[in-house]
Amino acid sequence: MRMRQWRAIVVAACVCGGAAMRPAVGAAQDSAADRSVVDGVFTAGQATAGREVFRRACASCHQLGDLAGPKFAFRWEKTTVGDLFTLISDTMPDGAPGTLEPREYAGILAMFLKESGYKEGDTELPTDVEALRKIKIEPLPQ
């Protein structure tokens, strides 16, 4: 198997099957998180900009419905937005990881949150990983 194919499989497993990552990543982060994705941690404009970046840089390999939606919180619960930001920015786009601007990665995450049903707020998601690690991913209130 070619290295590029192997990397794509590993990344897809991490992004789509985030539950497997939960104990290792999230356990240490839970106590540090002081906000949650249910608190309106992104803006509508940021999510819209993220959608455009996703179309340009991600849609050739990924479908939005596989990454966002009702199962988003289940996949990422007990982790933080910073954990997901780090995973995506360290591994995507395939073949050129880390080549997007931090604001573009944050925009993609804002779009994931919006598409998963989380409410918008008045402040954009930050681009600083430590600040993002203070935002816990949890399910939408019932």
**64 is in which domain, residue-wise?**
3-136
Predicted pLDDT of residue 131: 97
Number of separate domains in the chain: 1
* C-alpha of 100 from chain center: 14
User: Could you tell me the CATH number of the domain that includes residue 102?
Assistant: 1.10.760
CA pair distance 23, 98, nearest whole angstrom: 25
Does residue 23 fall inside a structural domain? Answer: yes
pLDDT, residue 69, reads 92
Q: What is d(CA 73, CA 75) in angstroms, rounded to the nearest whole number?
A: 5
Per-residue pLDDT of the chain (142 residues; tens, 9 = 90+): 444 443 444 444 444 444 344 434 444 444 456 899 999 999 999 999 999 999 999 999 999 999 999 899 999 999 999 999 999 999 999 999 999 999 999 999 999 999 999 999 999 999 999 999 999 999 999 8
Whether the CB-CB separation of 35 and 82 falls below 8 Å is answered with: no
pLDDT value for 103: 98
Q: Looking at residue 32, what is its pLDDT?
A: 59
Is position 142 within any domain?
no
SS3 136: strand
Helix locations, 22-63, DSSP H: 22-29, 44-57
Note the pLDDT of residue 70: 86
Indicate whether this model's pTM tops 0.85. Answer: no
